[in-house]
């Protein structure tokens, strides 16, 4: 057992105990944002673990960040309220210039500003990222942004966003991944000056919005990485995102297994604990095995990412395996609790809704299978 990782687990668990499940249930009812929780998580250093020490962070890796996200979810909390600050950080750390890092990272580490949004998805392109329509046109010392984004989470609770836009048309580049550029957007300056934000009502409390860009002007210094090479910038963030989302799913799965096991030991029907019945016990045991196996892939992906090695396949497989295992664990937990699972008092139905998202986002299971088929198994491209 890695003692440092275990210490992080214990500390995050202790912090989360101060925000019981009733706290999250009330936020879910109100569609509220966990301001106090995010503030304490930041001040405790857990939300800034990836920021180098020279900028006020802990200077740790994705493996430690994954442990933080897992424990938040295992405690019954909703990591979706703050997880973007972890994975968007990968894009800034690997591709931001010295001036950008000096300007933003100490402020983020101190909790004075938040980097909580990733502006990629569009209504007409979905996961077809290279076909996005939002444009950024160079005009003197500025870029002018026009277009639309959808399912952009937490932007109303963030100060900064990393945005992907097209700086060259598809017909002007030889490869479809070229001509895309990444930008750091200061939301505080942009909203009302070319950026309109419209909340989306959805199945879970994910604070998602639709964004409309109409002549938004930003300084050319806000370009993140090289112009036209933004797909690589975003890809680094996406690999970290998939690993960290997978870690959250591991946390969700362990939450469901803990809940089901406790209930199966205590609930008596026909004069015996229901956990004594193989029809109840075996599904819990199977989910446990699946979650533990998926957790190994999450760890492998995180260690490869931290070593600077190629980890696209591992990040994708970790996300797919963990999300499917957590969904099955949620279904098992619902079944174990029977009718009580539908009661908000038991908190299971909220977590059941939350973990379902990760079959679809941030990348669908089918697209992961397509990636594995083409890039790992060398099969013909399926789309």
Both 99 and 134 in one domain: the answer is no
Question: Which domain CATH number covers 37?
Answer: 1.10.540.10
Nearest to 130 by CA among 167, 176, 164: 176
Does 217 map to a domain? yes
Q: Are residues 57 and 193 in the same domain?
A: no
Q: Are residues 278 and 349 in the same domain?
A: yes
State yes or no: pLDDT of 150 exceeds 60: yes
Q: What is the pLDDT of residue 56?
A: 94
How high is the pLDDT of residue 161? 96
383 falls within a domain: no
Whether pLDDT at 301 is above 70: yes
Residue 223 lies in a domain: yes
**Domain co-membership, 120 together with 221:** yes
In this prediction, residue 204 carries a pLDDT of: 86
What percentage of residues in the chain have a pLDDT greater than 90?
Answer: 86
Give a yes or no: residue 145 inside a domain. yes
381 belongs to a structural domain: no
CA 147 – CA 134 distance, rounded (Å): 4
Q: pLDDT tens-digit profile of 30-83?
A: 999 999 999 999 999 999 999 999 999 999 999 999 999 999 999 999 999 888
pLDDT digits (tens, 9 = 90+) for 314-330: 999 999 999 999 999 99
Q: What is the pLDDT of residue 326?
A: 98
Does 43 lie in the same domain as 107? yes
Domain boundary among 197, 230, 263: 230
Q: Do residues 236 and 369 both lie within one domain?
A: yes
* Whether residue 200 sits in one domain with residue 71: no
Indicate whether 131 belongs to any domain.
yes
Band of residue 1 on the pLDDT scale cut at 50, 70, 90: low
Domain boundary among 179, 209, 230: 230
Residue 8: inside a domain: yes
CA triple 32-73-23, angle to 5 deg: 35
Give the domain CATH number at 198.
2.40.110.10
Residue 187: per-residue pLDDT:
97
Q: Once rounded to an integer, what is the mean pLDDT over residues 81-89?
A: 85
- The mean pLDDT value of the chain amounts to 95
Using one digit for the tens of pLDDT, what is the confidence trace for 351-380? 999 999 999 988 999 999 999 999 999 999
Cα–Cα–Cα angle for 361, 365, 371, rounded to 5 degrees: 110
Is 72 in the same domain as 187? no
Task: State the pTM of this model.
Answer: 0.94
- Domain co-membership, 225 together with 241: no
Instruction: State the CATH number of the domain containing residue 270.
Output: 1.20.140.10
Q: Among 203, 230, 257, where does a domain finish?
A: 230
Is 73 a domain residue? yes
Same domain, 245 and 211: no
How confident is residue 126, by pLDDT bands cut at 50, 70 and 90? confident
Give the structural domain span for 32.
Answer: 3-113
Same domain, 254 and 366: yes
Regarding whether 121 and 106 lie in a shared domain, the answer is no
Q: What is the pLDDT of residue 129?
A: 86
The domain total for the chain is 3
Query: What is the Cα–Cα distance from 172 to 166, expressed in whole angstroms?
Result: 11
On the question of pLDDT at 217 being above 70, the answer is yes
């Amino acid at each position: 057992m890695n003692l440092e990782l275990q210490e992080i687990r214990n500390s995050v668990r202790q912090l989360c105990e101060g925000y019981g499940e009733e706290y999250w249930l009330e936020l879910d009812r109100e569609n509220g944002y966990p301001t106090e929780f995010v503030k304490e998580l930041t001040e405790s250093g857990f939300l800034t673990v990836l920021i180098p020490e020279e900028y006020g962070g802990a200077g740790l890796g994705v493996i430690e960040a994954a442990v933080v996200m897992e424990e938040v979810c295992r405690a019954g909390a909703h990591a979706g309220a703050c997880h973007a600050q972890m994975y968007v950080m990968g894009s800034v750390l690997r591709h931001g210039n010295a001036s950008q890092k000096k300007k933003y990272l100490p402020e983020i580490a101190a909790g004075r500003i938040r980097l909580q949004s990733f502006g990629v998805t569009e209504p007409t392109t979905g996961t077809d990222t290279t076909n996005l329509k939002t444009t950024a046109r160079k005009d003197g010392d500025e870029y002018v942004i026009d277009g639309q984004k959808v399912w952009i989470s937490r932007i109303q609770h963030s100060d900064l966003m990393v945005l992907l836009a097209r700086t060259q048309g598809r017909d002007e580049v030889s490869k479809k991944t070229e001509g895309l550029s990444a930008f750091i957007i200061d939301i505080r300056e942009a909203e009302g000056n070319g950026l309109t934000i419209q909340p989306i009502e959805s199945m879970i409390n994910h604070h998602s919005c639709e964004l409309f860009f109409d002549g938004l002007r930003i300084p050319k210094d806000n370009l993140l990485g090289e112009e036209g090479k933004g797909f690589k910038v975003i890809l680094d963030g996406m690999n970290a995102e998939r690993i960290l989302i997978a870690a959250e799913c591991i946390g969700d799965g362990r939450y469901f297994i803990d809940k089901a096991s406790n209930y199966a030991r205590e609930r008596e029907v026909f004069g015996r604990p229901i956990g004594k019945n193989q029809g109840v016990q075996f599904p819990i045991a199977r989910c446990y095995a699946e979650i533990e196996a998926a957790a190994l892939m999450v760890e492998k992906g995180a260690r490869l990412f931290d070593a600077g090695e190629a980890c696209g396949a591992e990040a994708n497989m970790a996300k797919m395996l963990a999300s499917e295992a957590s969904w099955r664990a949620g279904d098992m937990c619902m079944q174990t609790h029977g009718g009580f699972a539908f009661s908000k008092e038991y908190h299971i139905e909220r977590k059941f809704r939350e973990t379902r998202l990760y079959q679809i986002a941030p990348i669908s299971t089918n697209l992961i299978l397509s990636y594995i088929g083409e890039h790992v198994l060398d099969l013909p491209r399926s789309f």
